[in-house]
Amino acid sequence: MKVNKIAIIGMGAVGTVYGRLLHDKFGPNFSVISDESRKEKLKKSGFTINGYTFYPNISSNSDNKEKYDLIIFAVKNYQLEEAIEDVRSFVGENTVLLTLLNGVTARDIIQAAYPHNKVLYGLAMRIDAVRTENGVVNTDDGEIHFGEADNRVISQEVQAVKDCFDAAGMKSIIFPDMIRMYWKKFMLNVGFNQVTAVTRAPYGKVTNIETSLILFKEAMREVLMIAKAMNIDLREEDIDEFVALMDHFAPNSKTSMLQDVEAKRKTEVDYFGGTVVEYGKKLNIPTPVNHVLYCIIKSLEALY
């Protein structure tokens, strides 16, 4: 397999960072998939990143029936069901689907919608990008961690996607155990995104304030306990790794959830703390920290 035609749905901060790289490399063989209502507007406005505006092909279900080799999902979780239908006419029998969504539920939802297609796990890691009124400001492209659940033997589809990313200058890593990486990123998001959203703290403050650091660790520790009950390989030292990782981000940068709260946008808290609380109930594991964080963030949304 070779990836020749690529599409992405969801042009927020993450989608714009990787969309620019794919557009610059693949040109007319790269498209952004949009719903019909926004298509003409996006064609005119393009997408701006660090002052550079690019104008990729914009496709929707109504006017374009060609199939793609790779479709990347970069929408928010609460947009996923709509996105699944928006890409349907572009999915052929050999199309590979890759999710970059936060949380641990998106991949299985996509697989259920497309049971005969290869659906890969994916994560955008260490990316530093902020959506502003004038487009996306990006200081670090980060890297994509992706693959099937078990990559001890790399499939032709995973290798083809890796070759595509390499050609576009996109850093990517294939991990042997993607379930571990998927849940590891989930644990980070549960701690970091939620705590920054309620404290309004940028990257450089969260771990330097004793009380917010306690929240950060304890929210993640609840995920750790759930993962252990599900025989998923998360470890206490992963929490220590994430605390140390905060020193590598620009100190004044903000998490996506904090950006959403400040802009009075809907957050993904249902897929972070909400998911933790649901798993906790099913497994009879207490999740008091995530329950409180969830309630606070839902209250903030209600006050917009």
Grade residue 65 by pLDDT with cuts at 50, 70 and 90: confident
For residue 290, pLDDT beyond 70: yes
For residue 302, pLDDT beyond 90: yes
Which pLDDT score is estimated for 88?
Answer: 95
**Pairwise CA distance, residues 273 & 22, whole Å:** 33
> What value, to the nearest 5°, has the Cα angle with vertex 148 and ends 59 and 2?
50
**Pairwise CA distance, residues 234 & 241, whole Å:** 12
Which pLDDT score is estimated for 37?
Answer: 86
Q: Give phi and psi for 62, each to the nearest 5.
A: -75, -25
252/159: higher pLDDT: 159
Grade residue 62 by pLDDT with cuts at 50, 70 and 90: confident
The stretch 32-58 carries a mean pLDDT of: 94
Which pLDDT score is estimated for 269?
Answer: 98
The stretch 94-104 carries a mean pLDDT of: 97
- Predicted confidence (pLDDT) per residue in 200-234, tens digit: 999 889 888 999 999 999 999 999 999 999 999 99
Comma-separated ranges of CATH 3.40.50.720 domains in the chain: 6-176
CB atoms inside a 10 Å sphere around CB 159? 16
Which pLDDT score is estimated for 153?
Answer: 97
CA distances from residue 6 to 104, 165, 274 in whole angstroms, order as listed: 24, 11, 33
For residue 132, pLDDT beyond 90: no
Which pLDDT score is estimated for 215?
Answer: 96
The stretch 278-299 carries a mean pLDDT of: 98
Q: Identify the residue whose tokens are 């329950």.
A: 291
Q: What percentage of the chain has pLDDT greater than the value 90?
A: 87
**Pairwise CA distance, residues 89 & 62, whole Å:** 9
Q: Is residue 123 within 8 Å of residue 179, measured between CB atoms?
A: no
CATH C-level class of 179-302: mainly alpha
Instruction: Confirm or reject CATH 3.40.50.300 for domain 6-176, answering yes or no.
Output: no
Per-residue buried b or exposed e for 98-127, using 16+ beta carbons within 10 Å of the residue's own CB: bbbbbbbbbbebbbebbeebbbbbbbbbeb
Comma-separated ranges of CATH 1.10.1040.10 domains in the chain: 179-302
Which pLDDT score is estimated for 64?
Answer: 67
pTM, 2 dp: 0.94
**Which one-letter amino acid corresponds to residue 66?**
E
CA 84 to chain centroid, in Å, comes to 15
- Predicted confidence (pLDDT) per residue in 228-275, tens digit: 999 999 999 999 999 888 877 778 888 999 999 999 999 999 999 999
Which pLDDT score is estimated for 130?
Answer: 87
Q: What percentage of the chain has pLDDT greater than the value 70?
A: 100
Q: Tell me the average pLDDT of the chain.
A: 95
